[in-house]
Structure 1
């Protein structure tokens, strides 16, 4: 199975700097994500990995990665994963997010989004829970988000 977004990702990643170009294209489509300068590291059905570099613009007043930058990373990873996995007849929108800050977020952040249940084609809307775990360079979980995606048929 390949969605248009997944096909585009596969096409871009064959080129030098393809992941960077794809990530920039995502930020062009949804400009707010550009505030964290994300890099889509891996994308496949039911899984998306996004990285944000440790830089001053994502820091808070104590020098760690800001809580909202982590939320932004989580929403991006969950949205791209959902879009790359859903059948063409379905659409999605984030409905809510619950987050847990597990420890100080320092260094480069690596977020992985996966659905909690299989995505299915349906004639009615349903809530799809997506979990995003963000880890630091040492592989320690620093942040966890549960994002409720509202999935419904296209009109």
Structure 2
């Protein structure tokens, strides 16, 4: 699967780097582009056209009052995983936008968190071919014990960058 937008070309170049550097380079790219994610020290463990795997360490700067990853940081992690994945496919003349997120916090998180976002072939085709639209992505977020402390779902839309003045 090949995309031809700026983000996917950058990621493709990073995938040409030695394997031990790829996660660090992707995380640096992402942290500079999305300042809040950089501040939270989100790490991109894996990124390809179908799946994004991101990790949020349980650092003091993202902890809540009980010493686990703050609810807002969990939301950011899922948004980042789903958004980066959508961004790999949205053509350069369109703008991806987070439309909504639904998070149900069901258990206390322990330690670092890992978010996994996956796109189906149909979703990829929809993003690439429709001028505007939206998709729903369920992001699985697990803590270091394998517990899923939050059930997360994100709705991403995309629109043309240059909208006519009559809209």
| Contact residue 115 and residue 128 of structure 1 kept, 8 A | no
Which of these residues, 92, 96, 104, is aligned with residue 92 of structure 1?
96
Superposition pairs for residues 65-84 of structure 1, below 5 Å?
Answer: 65-84=69-88
Q: TM-score, normalised by structure 1?
A: 0.87
In structure 1, the gaps of 5 or more residues are none
User: What is the CA distance between 1:46 and its match in structure 2?
Assistant: 2.8
- Name 2:138's counterpart in structure 1: 131
Assess if the C-alpha contact under 8 Å between 2:82 and 2:137 holds in 1: yes
Correspondence for 2:130 among 110, 122, 126: 122
Aligned mate of 2:8, from 6, 9, 12: 6
Higher strand share: 1
Structure 2 unmatched runs, 5+: 163-167
How many residues end up aligned between the 2 structures? Answer: 154
Q: Deviations over 1:125-154 (max 9, x none)?
A: 222111111101232212222111112234
CA RMSD of aligned residues (A): 2.0
8 Å CA contact 2:43, 2:55 repeated in 1 = yes
TM-score w.r.t. the length of structure 2 is 0.82
Between structure 1 and structure 2, the one with the greater Rg is 2
